[in-house]
A and B are shown apart, each in its own frame.
Chain A
Amino acid sequence: EDQVTQSPEALRLQEGESSSLNCSYTVSGLRGLFWYRQDPGKGPEFLFTLYSAGEEKEKERLKATLTKKESFLHITAPKPEDSATYLCAVLSNQGGKLIFGQGTELSVKP
């Protein structure tokens, strides 16, 4: 059964304190791994898609990496506006549905 596990569940950082979020997955043929950002009461906002091990994508202070079993979202020198829940999801070769992890709630204090 396809499964996604994110850790930690919650992360509190000081502004400028870099860290990483983890997404471990098991899937029967990975078609793509997705990262989304979700603010309270809103829908998920697309950040990155990764397709193969070794691939990396960057956007401002965020960098996503992928291995055969997990993905990391690295946050460099975060700011308070980076506070949100970060969701990881996988898409298998068998269908169109995304399988999501439970998310990591990130809080960045000034």
Chain B
Amino acid sequence: DTGVSQNPRHKITKRGQNVTFRCDPISEHNRLYWYRQTLGQGPEFLTYFQNEAQLEKSRLLSDRFSAERPKGSFSTLEIQRTEQGDSAMYLCASSFGGADTQYFGPGTRLTVL
């Protein structure tokens, strides 16, 4: 099964440190999305790519957050100078072209101490 994969699955860091997460989408999916989910809430959109192009960014994505998809395959999400409020589950999803169904990965749980 070649579903969406995310690494690491868990990350514990100290406030002020930088962290980077990786997402590998389903093979041949050209769209890749990042969402953030806090306890008891639904996922909130952060950003998405079509191939290498970043097409939309949420206002939630402050200057400390940056996402890349350099070759149109995997993507990275970096958070600089982490804050306790960044603690959440970071979810990645992918979809194929005009098909709108987004398939999610297992998520990366971030805890900022």
Contact = CB atoms under 8 A, between A and B. Distances in A.
- Main secondary structure, interface of A, reads strand
- How many interface residues does chain B have, given as a range? 20 to 34
Contacts of A46: 101-104
A31 B99 CA distance: 11
A41 B109 contact: yes
A99 B45 contact: yes
A96 B56 CA distance: 8
Nearest to A101: B42
Contacts of A42: 106-107
Contact of B44 (A43, A44, A96, A100): A100
A27 B88 CA distance: 26
A5 B58 CA distance: 20
- Main secondary structure, interface of B, reads strand
Interface in B32-51: 33, 35, 40-45, 48, 50
Interface stretch (A13-21, A53-61, A63-71, A87-95): A87-95
B104 A44 contact: yes
A98 to B, nearest CB: 6
A107 interface: no
Contacts of B4: 43
Interface residues of A, number: 25
B11 to A, nearest CB: 14
A102 interface: yes
A87 B4 CA distance: 19
A91 to B, nearest CB: 6
Interface of B: 4, 31, 33, 35, 40-45, 48, 50, 55-56, 58, 91, 93, 95, 100-107, 109
Report the 8 A-B pairs with minimum CB-CB distance, sorted nearest first: A100-B42, A43-B104, A97-B45, A44-B104, A43-B106, A43-B107, A102-B42, A100-B43
Given A46-B103, A97-B45, A102-B42, 18 more contacts: A4-B42, A32-B100, A34-B102, A36-B104, A41-B109, A42-B107, A43-B104, A43-B105, A43-B107, A44-B91, A44-B104, A46-B102, A96-B33, A96-B48, A97-B33, A100-B43, A101-B42, A102-B40
